[in-house]
Structure 1
Amino acid sequence: MRIAVTGSIATDHLLTFPGRFAEQLLADRLDRVSLSFLADGLDVRRGGVAANIAFGLGVLGLRPLLVGAVGADFEPYRVWLKDHGVDTEPVRVSETLHTARFVCTTDADQNQIATFYAGAMAEAREIDLREVVARCGRPDLVLISPDDPAAMLRHTAACRELGLPFASDPSQQLARLTRDEVRELIDGAGRLFTNEYESALLCERSGLTEAEVLDRVGSWVTTHGEAGVRISAAGRAPLTVPAVQVGQVVDPTGVGDAFRAGFLAGTARGVPERYAAQLGCAVAATVLGHTGTQEYRLSRTSLAARLRAAYGPASETELSACLRGMR
């Protein structure tokens, strides 16, 4: 199964603040916030939602198509992704803008304050999925992840025109989207991905109830951090999968992207949703132990052991084909 992942490609600047943001915020001064946090550490890493998901899919043995826009500074990043199984041929290179930047500060409670500079990502709206299909072949699934909003809408429309199955992951861009745009992105999606907060925001932005959202999508996959994952679909009871517990969280950045990679890799190989979610949780737990979104390493042995410890031998058995397909 070939998956095309559309969305952001960025460089992450990850800072760590040893205190707590909450202790610096004054309840009666939130309309005049002016704060500076002295960070203890800085890591510059490869990132971007689409690139993170594509990297995970590549490590798990698939060869995803990465569809997004970057600057001329992308070449070393391109080599890295290709070395990890990602087809970067559809990536558009801007002649004038730098690759997007994500700057994120994490406090002692794992709360985060982040700023994203779009840069070349603004040119993603110039990418035509029909041309990508003509050059690279027809994918079996297109994941529409956070990107330039116009690009997200254009790619979704192209999927409908071409009859391409698609999944919707609006997440960080929900705050930028209008009611009609949110509805446009989710209508007809085979799967909808959000985290717990985004699920409430999506209903608020779209003006739809949870039941009305479920009438528009095949299934709704919601991550709940330490509480695991909830998969809902119209006409059936929700499926809940517990998270894989980790001893120490090093950095939560990119954990949702890692879950999506594991989940999609599982479903791409025909694994039932329960076990695909378990694989996603196991990959996500691995990422939590590393600084950066693409610095983790997966092996068949370690991943099998993590699945067996968290979910029992049946999980390892059901996911054996996925494990054998890893790079």
Structure 2
Amino acid sequence: MLQDRYGRRFRYLRLSVTDVCNFRCTYCLPSGYQAPAGAVPEGFLGAEEIAVIAAAFARLGTSKIRLTGGEPGLRADLPELIRICKQTEGINTVALTTNGYRLPKQIHDWHQAGLDRLNVSIDSLDRQEFASITGHDKLPTILDGLDQALSLGMQDIKINAVLLRDGYADRMQSFLSWLRDMPVTLRFIELMQTGDNSVFFRDQHLRGQEMLTMLVEQGWQETARAQDAGPARELWHPDYAGRIGFIMPYSSDFCASCNRLRVSALGRLHLCLFADQGHDIRSWCRDGDVEGLMQHLQDMIGDKGESHLLQQQHTGATRHFAMIGG
């Protein structure tokens, strides 16, 4: 079992398969994707390398892998990557986070490959506002894809929405009305500061605690958190088909229950989303050395800090979330 010096066990891996994204979200890539300076000879992790990563983490107690980006749907071999992770002994859950750009065309292949859980980013249910935030008028397409995912019988579908100060009250009411009949979990994610968004963060950051408290006063009740779950605090209400969650990284105890590690699309282990650097694990992946990678992971876990330093405006090496997958 991967366990750090603070007693935290890591059952959950967030594995990025690309840092390319085709959206231009105001809080992440407002100018669109820009390839990093300097050529990357090996490119993004290949299927065989991902198989090594999945096997090493699984043997060390990881039971859940979430494929992220950038936008993972831009990889033509994504169904193969899902299948590799799903067929790895010890991996019980394969999840995917997507912007849903081509969701209606891709969800059937992903589901057939073994995808268990789906997260779709929808920051607004107003078509014009959605286009303004993301740079694409794709809300109807994404909602169609979401309906198809539900028709396939996919369980525990989550919708990610970044909390933004401007217009948040109207968006909240719209989402609440939608959740009365929509059996998904809407998760409000507090805007986090990165290397590239300091001005935007200052203008738009909104704490989730006040909204959570308001919902509890309206009869929403908090649910228990599973061992391999992410950091969200989730609520349910008897009058609603859907649930609501909050991810609040600026809360004082946010890192105490950390159970996840990250590997970037270039094969770097990130012990924290806001760490100062990643640790290169690509040589073990390239050589197919599962045992060697396992030992290296156990050695590296001792370097994981007790907490991020977001409260001190320290964002580490993360310029934007497409780099690592959030």
**Do these two structures clear the TM 0.5 threshold for a shared fold by scoring above it?**
no
**Greater fraction of residues in helix:** 1
More contact order relative to length (CA 8 Å, sep ≥ 6): 2
TM-score (normalised: structure 2): 0.36
